[in-house]
Amino acid sequence: MAKKSVKELLDAGVHFGHLTRKWNPNMAPYIFMEKNGIHIIDLHKTAVKLEDASNAMEKMAASGRKILFVATKKQAKDIVAKYAGDVNMPYITERWPGGMLTNFVTIRKAVKKMNSIDKMKKDGTFNSLSKKERLQVDRQRAKLEKDLGSISDMTRLPSALFVVDIVNESIAVKEAKKLNIPVFAIVDTNSDPREVDFPIPANDDATKSIEIIMQTVTDAVREGLTARKAEKSKGKEDKPAKKAAKPAKASKDEEE
């Protein structure tokens, strides 16, 4: 896994925090200095935390577990959708549906409703509806796709969350904590890093900063998936071939 150097993080603006008056005192260990009324994040610590998070996510992917990526803020949603989608991981970028984790059964019902509409369109049932009904169903399908389309393949609770901006996604973090689901997150100087299991101190507002973090962690996930695929292939090769069936014993008549 390629590590990100401090210079690469610096060039991406990862070190810029919030205004000093908006800081969270619990971020003090990750703050290098104050400049022009803005806190500057210690990128040496960012690099270490990013590597720790990447290693853990690689292991999760290698063991076949799913990581749900969450980012609904404007400057992060497209980046998260792109990188999470590239490694076939579920993501939420429109809005966090309340009870997404704590009431997962209901969320799955909504996803099944979306799938049933697709089935109606394939088997011709949809065409038997009136024009008004078809319009209503199409609107319902579009809304479900927008909110839940990216998690349609997630049949069980995720093994972890990756969050961009835990202040903005506080409900998602709370639900994960309630269910003891580990949380990886980009934490800016206005955040409380104690709320997550794997905090990555970094600028969570600039697109370049978000992108370099997302690129790094999803590269790690991709390596984990590749290792899993290789392990499966090796297992198939090592599997002993079935023994040839023993010839049937000849009957007395055949022997004679």
Q: Percent of the chain having pLDDT more than 90?
A: 67
pLDDT score of 31: 97
36: number of Cβ within 10 Å: 7
How do residues 191-227 score in pLDDT, each as one tens digit?
A: 999 999 999 999 999 999 999 999 999 999 999 999 9
**What's the pLDDT band for 240 if we cut at 50, 70, 90?**
low
* pLDDT exceeds cutoff 50 at 89: yes
Mean pLDDT score, 73-77: 95
Q: For 170-236, where are the E strands, in sequence order?
A: 183-187, 198-201
pLDDT for position 97:
87
Tens digits of residue pLDDT in 8-44: 999 999 999 999 999 999 999 999 999 999 999 999 9
The average confidence (pLDDT) of the chain is 90
Residue 78 pLDDT more than 80?
A: yes
Report residue 176's pLDDT band, with 50, 70 and 90 as the boundaries: very high
| Predicted structure pTM score | 0.86
Q: Which tokens go with 98?
A: 């309340």
Listed residue (53, 47, 21, 51) closest to 34, CA to CA: 21
Which tokens sit at 72?
A: 């609904």
| pLDDT band (50, 70, 90) for residue 255 | very low
pLDDT category at 181 given cuts 50, 70, 90 is very high
Mean pLDDT of 129-146: 89
Question: Considering the chain, what percentage of its residues have pLDDT values greater than 70?
Answer: 91
Q: CA-CA distance, 56 to 254, in Å (whole number)?
A: 66
**List of E strands, the chain:** 16-19, 31-35, 38-41, 67-70, 91-92, 160-164, 183-187, 198-201
Residue 256 pLDDT grade (very low, low, confident, very high; cuts 50, 70, 90):
very low
